[in-house]
Structure 1
Amino acid sequence: MHKETIYGKRKAPEQEEAYHVRKPIDNLTTKKHIEKVVDPIIKKLIYSRIKDIGGFEQGDKIPSNTFFITDEIGKKIPQIFLPNKHGEPVPVKKIRMKENIGGAEQLKEDINQYVNPRNNHHVLIYKDFDGNLKEEVVTFWTAVQRKINGKKIVQLPEDGREIVTTLQINDMFLLGVNEGNLNLQNQEQYNLSIKLYKVEALSSKYYEFRLNTEASESREYAPYYIRIQSFGKGKTGWQTFNPIKVKVSPTGKISKRI
């Protein structure tokens, strides 16, 4: 299971009991997200940093260089630090966020781990025996039950011949690239970066992608935002964009992900 799907039920000092989850700090994109940060010191540091660099963008959007800046070789340099009495300040790369989840399901009685059964864990894209592209939307709860029962979380349905790919929130994909001509060893990484997108939201035949360099969620049009709603070759078709799943190293190198 992806760690971000598991919540712990906790009560922070002077706060109500809630479900906490640990996430990368740069997952925060709006003021509303900051308010969910559990640690009041980190929350204050974030607001201070945003003020220092000119404030929120477009109302409540967090500026893209709030948490990290990128040097000339693509390395991310932290910008939020916790004071340290015994040495150098400690960079903040991850934070705990609180969520109020109605109907949260506990994985096991003796373990403080919960999931939100209403959210989707992943979408499986596969081909049936006739070669048609199909999907299977798998909820968190279904994924948890498979894990508990010792089964694979990603399973090919009975009518499936082969798995094409899976999509999860924050997965990275190249869109609009001809896979036959793709050479990750020789092609300039800059050329690929303008085709690199992050999965932003998922539901049945409604896959939303955000350009990897786009911090704002307000521009819902290409090339900043792409939506796939069918498996055909139309304007929002899977075959039009030919999503290729990839991973990005800390230095910005792109490689294909199976």
Structure 2
Amino acid sequence: TQVMGLALGGALIFLAVALMVTAARLVVSEELEHDYPEPEHPEEQQAIEQVVAESGDRLTRKRLLKTAAGLAGGAVGAALVVPAASLGPVVSSAPLYDTPWRRGLRLVDDKGRPWRALDIEPKNFYTAYPEGADRDLIGSPLVVIRLDPAELHLPADRAGWAPQGILAYSKVCTHAACAIALFRTPKFEPTQPRPALVCPCHYSTFDPSRAGEVIAGPAGRALPQLPLYVDPAGVLRAAGNFSGPVGPSWSGVRSGKAT
């Protein structure tokens, strides 16, 4: 969408230039010179010119054109700032890497009750938050699901991230930061597609069994995964931070590890 906006802006600029060139070549311009008669009262005219000169600066045609051109240029510059700002954070992208998740934090529901491993049933979709943290932070909400451990194809360095087949991913889509709100589960195996997390805004689709990789839609990168472990009381806890930055794929925010 950012590229489309820049392309549209560039097209409008080139169209304006083309119209200006066309007007300069097609519109006939003539210069006429008129002989003005000699002033009948030169003394009075000199007095008037002196009064005008002493009265201060005048708003000449040249100055008016310069002012109008400056205002037009400022408007064009302001119009360019909007799509440029949409490409990502202007000063720093560090906030996208900072989340409240730390090892040992319990996963809780919207009422603050801890999620236990036994609560997470197959073919269901759950939302979790870090206990005691601000739930409105972009890095707080999780989607939690359970798959058959035999169906998981996680990278070797994430072998222990899904105890009992329970997986947790950021609930924020990596395309435009909408909430992942759909969980697709096959009803007639093996003819239907495998389980997937789906964003309802632009239908980016992620494969939870393969580390949240994108399998359809406009998202530019996989969903960040949160490592989990089950404590002796059977409660789900974070084993660390996300595998990557949460939120949309701003320009330059494609990889890296959350802090």
When normalised by structure 1's length, the TM-score is 0.23
Superposition TM-score, scaled by structure 2 size: 0.23
